[in-house]
């Protein structure tokens, strides 16, 4: 009985932790070059050694949301005879990413302090 509650709690908390992180990672990836959805998922997999990879549905919902806020824009390109929708970061997206990096860095510092206190 308690084990099931623990699993549910961990699943919920991991989902919450990852939700904001996904958008930050997407913007960071697009800073280097435009990418299509599959390429973004593949990069997530490589960066996290397969441990953190958003589902296709989650990824495209995030991309739509980032596009809605004008942080990314999409365009179509033909690659290998196949049309693919690519995403690139906008100048607004770069500004937002810069501020988010400061926040992520600060959170990292807090987590590091917590780790030092629990070692």
| CATH code (residue 105) | 1.10.10.10
Dihedral sign of CA atoms 46, 49, 50, 51 in order: negative
Q: Which domain holds residue 94?
A: 2-117
User: Which residues lie below 8 Å from residue 29, measured CB to CB, with a gap of 6+?
Assistant: 35, 40, 43
Give how many domains the chain has, as a whole number.
1
pTM to 2 decimal places: 0.84
pLDDT of residue 16: 86
Return the DSSP state at 119. -
Question: Residue 65 above 80 pLDDT?
Answer: yes
């Amino acid at each position: 009985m308690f084990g099931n509650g623990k699993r549910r709690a961990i699943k919920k908390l991991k989902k919450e932790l990852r939700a904001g992180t996904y958008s930050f990672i997407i913007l960071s990836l697009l800073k280097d070059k435009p990418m299509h959805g599959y390429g973004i998922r593949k990069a997530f997999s490589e960066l996290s050694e397969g441990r953190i990879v958003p589902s296709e549905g989650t990824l495209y919902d995030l991309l739509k949301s980032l596009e809605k806020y004008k942080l990314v824009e999409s365009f179509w390109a033909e690659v290998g005879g196949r049309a693919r929708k690519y995403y690139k970061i906008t100048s607004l997206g770069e500004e937002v990413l810069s501020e988010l990096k400061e926040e992520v860095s600060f959170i990292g510092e807090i987590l590091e302090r917590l780790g030092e206190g629990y070692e």
